Structure 1
């Protein structure tokens, strides 16, 4: 870690604030939002006061202030008074958590990991490259399960709450964030351990009328981390298409996602659980996982399970393949 007495690097400060290093350098070149002192006269090294200035720049641009105007205000804040210094690397903060909510994203995040706060900042600014970079770092550092549950989901929920309470504002933020999360999850699924296994796959599908497919994409990525075969069919799969997919693929399990009770299709779930295939004398039916909050309120029927979250879903499916759940990367 850099010596904080001499400041931290541009890459480090960019990760802390949820922006790309290119954005930080661009602000310096265009608007004079740079460190007061440079190491060897060339390399940018950011002091706590410099970071506070960048933090103010992030807060203002996220609230819609034009960058040039935000830069003037941020520079004045540094020179006119002692700014409120954000947490720096040598501050005693619990691992993965911020000491206080702090300004910047305008989203109701609450007590979350610092990475979620940075992701929210980048999303509100519509800084796609920063969002992509932060998601890649989160997956590499924490693994799929932790990155999904503690970074991606809290940020998505905060955007959704902001959208609902602001008369359809922030819709563009939700779309950008969802697209980049989907891209990161699909990339993680593709780069999982290569498998040429003849084993029957897991079918992943949203019930008819259900458009929320990101949780299933997270499950697909988690199964890919373990080298388990999947077939992803995505959002709003028609009942006839799901029936055909199950009969043609002969899956070990079928995960059906329902976000709300209005989309939960219990008759379809029972039909899938009762679909038998294979040779005569050795016919079998898939285990049906009722995934998502839409299935709550009614006990699972025979042949069905209702996992409470991503780790449990991965564990249940792994055991169907004879693998211990504890080996999942978290």
Structure 2
């Protein structure tokens, strides 16, 4: 929390977003179990202070381990366990983290290995482990709206996706359902951002495609949302585009830029990329070739050259593409 928030408290809605739960859940815990704010402003307006939020965080952690809310509330309020089991689960003896003032906190709710991340990232992780799709949707939309696409992707979506993936790999295929739901919600948020962005100018588009046999589309979806945010035209062809279909798409759409995504070296093909870069289209005497960006870790290695560029990340890719369109691109997030 910032110094101002620590001194004056924050609203129920803000608390819910930070914890990755719905405001209804927070109010329910207050009404049913007495876990409420110590300070109220202007009559009934609740203002949650750091010590109040710490109790809610403990409730989130306990319930995420399977402890019933009523039992968790007794532990949080200091009454100890009442009956079932007569002991607090071992995972409930260590707090998730300690409040800090810089907006980032180590660790992650629910045991996900997040490290030092934004508060919104921790909230998203909690909601993901709970399989709380409405909270995930609301939080993702808010982050994109308030911080822009690049920050939302790099500092909230990607760290949470990586944390769930690491948990999945280290827990004998547990958390598969968490990873699937989180990926779906992230994809939905990215596509919503793409659809709701202002209409792009009528210019040659940016063509986005995964290499043949490559099915990882989320990074391309993030790029599509970033392009839409900057008002740039695009065509998304998605995962595993066959070479013949890619060639046809380039010739039919006449793109200014083609972005080819490869997650692994086994799916990267320099020969196909160079073929795309050498594809000419347009009227006779004014034929042109697209700029080709090689995106993703599959293209790692020496600089490609030959009219091929390899951006270092989402922001760099957006900046390179914006430069192709010049003044047609609106300023991004800086």
The equivalences for 1:243-262 within 5 A come to 243-262=247-266
Describe the shift of the 1:63–1:323 C-alpha distance in structure 2 as closer, same or farther (beyond 3 A).
farther
Task: Tell me the residue number matched to 1:143.
Answer: 148
Provide closer, same or farther for how the CA distance between residues 198 and 50 of structure 1 changes in structure 2, counting only shifts above 3 A: closer
Aligned partner (choices 204, 207, 212) of residue 203 of structure 1: 207
**Aligned-partner Cα distance in 1 for 2:324–2:277:** 15
Structure 1 residue 148: Cα displacement:
0.9
Distance 1:293 1:102 in 2: 26
The answer to whether the Cα contact below 8 Å between 1:18 and 1:121 also exists between their aligned partners in 2 is: yes
Inter-partner Cα distance in structure 1 for 2:218 and 2:263:
11
Task: Give, in angstroms, the shift of residue 227 of structure 1.
Answer: 0.9
- Displacement of 1:302 after TM fit? 0.9
Instruction: Tell me, yes or no, if structure 1 residue 97 matches structure 2 residue 104.
Output: yes
Report the Cα offset of residue 287 of structure 1: 1.0
Aligned partners of 2:128 and 2:182 also within 8 Å:
yes
1:133-212 correspondence runs (5 A):
133-195=138-200, 197-212=201-216
Matching residue of 1:216:
220
| Change in 2 beyond 3 A, CA 1:328/1:24 | same
Residue 227 (structure 1) aligned to one of 220, 227, 231: 231
Aligned to 1:21: 23
Task: Identify unmatched segments of 5+ residues in structure 2.
Answer: 82-93
Question: Which of 49, 70, 73 matches 1:71?
Answer: 73
Counterpart in 2 of 1:54? 56
Contact 1:270–1:301 at 8 Å: present in 2 too?
no
Structure 1 residue 87: Cα displacement: 5.9
**Structure 1 regions of 5+ residues with no counterpart?**
none
CA 5–293 in structure 1, closer or farther in 2 if over 3 Å, else same: closer
* Paired position in structure 2 for 1:293: 297
Cα offset for 1:44?
4.0
Could you tell me whether the CA contact under 8 Å between 2:107 and 2:113 is conserved in 1?
A: no
Query: Would the aligned equivalents of 1:105 and 1:117 in 2 still touch at CA under 8 Å?
Result: no
Structure 1 residues 41 and 321: alpha-carbon distance in aligned structure 2, compared to 1, 3 A threshold: closer
Change (3 A) 1:85 1:256: closer
Q: Distance in 2 between matches of 1:150 and 1:189?
A: 19
- The TM-score normalised by the length of structure 2 is 0.86
Cα offset, 1:201, TM superposition: 0.4
